């Protein structure tokens, strides 16, 4: 398992990128476990999340200052290429010296950059599972990233459904493995 938070983030980006590259031409309109999103919508969402990192973290801009600049279709004619460019920019921003000691100003207020990075990492891991399911790829997630994401999500899992970000948590079966527990926390049945 990668050690530092930027390494965890980079591993989650690689995982999601592998799944993006597994999308076949005819699958971009396919449904995903995120009931409101197609495969393209899901990839656009996660790409957009990574595109927010440089202006918020490196440039110190606010959500209001960025405005609608990162809304709409961010994938264009080359979804995989758009993803790779967004992932590389976010990875570089979080990996810069001192980056994790900064504060970013998110829609819900000032947040430590380390917490922001951890949140994006866990979200990327969960959405890698969603994308895997949608395109018929291997949906087993790396154990280290699952454990990291489980620790990240557990403290605020109940609030995720209220935020509209995820479905309500599901009951976790006795003896469930870490991936099943993580998915249940975000309303998914693995």
pLDDT tens by residue, 125-179: 999 999 999 999 999 999 999 999 999 988 876 676 666 666 777 788 889 999 9
pLDDT tens by residue, 67-125: 898 999 999 999 999 999 999 999 999 999 999 999 999 988 899 999 999 999 999 99
Contact in structure between 43 and 29 (CB atoms under 8 Å)? no
- Three-class SS of residue 43? helix
At residue 1, the pLDDT reads 47
- Three-class SS of residue 150? helix
What integer best gives the mean pLDDT of the chain? 92
Residue 38 has pLDDT above 80, yes or no: yes
Using CB atoms within 10 Å of the CB of residue 72, give its burial: 0 to 12 exposed, 13 to 18 middle, 19+ buried: exposed
d(CA 169, CA 97): 37
Contact in structure between 134 and 42 (CB atoms under 8 Å)? yes
């Amino acid at each position: 398992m990668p050690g530092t938070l930027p390494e965890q983030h980079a591993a989650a980006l690689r995982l999601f990128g592998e799944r993006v590259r597994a999308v076949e031409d005819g699958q971009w309109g396919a449904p995903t476990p995120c009931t409101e999103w197609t495969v393209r919508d899901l990839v656009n969402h996660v790409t957009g999340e990574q595109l927010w990192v440089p202006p918020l973290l490196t440039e110190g801009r606010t959500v209001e200052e960025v405005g609608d600049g990162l809304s709409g279709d961010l994938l264009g004619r080359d979804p995989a290429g758009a993803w790779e460019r967004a992932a590389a920019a976010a990875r570089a921003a979080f990996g810069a010296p001192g980056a994790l000691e900064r504060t970013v100003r998110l829609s819900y207020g000032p947040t430590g950059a380390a917490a922001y990075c951890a949140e994006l990492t866990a979200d990327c891991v969960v959405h890698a599972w969603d994308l895997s399911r949608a395109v018929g790829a291997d949906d087993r997630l790396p154990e280290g990233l699952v454990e990291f994401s489980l620790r990240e999500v557990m403290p605020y899992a109940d609030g995720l459904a209220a935020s509209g970000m995820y479905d309500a948590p599901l009951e976790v079966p006795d003896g469930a493995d870490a991936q099943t527990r993580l998915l249940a926390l975000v309303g998914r049945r693995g």
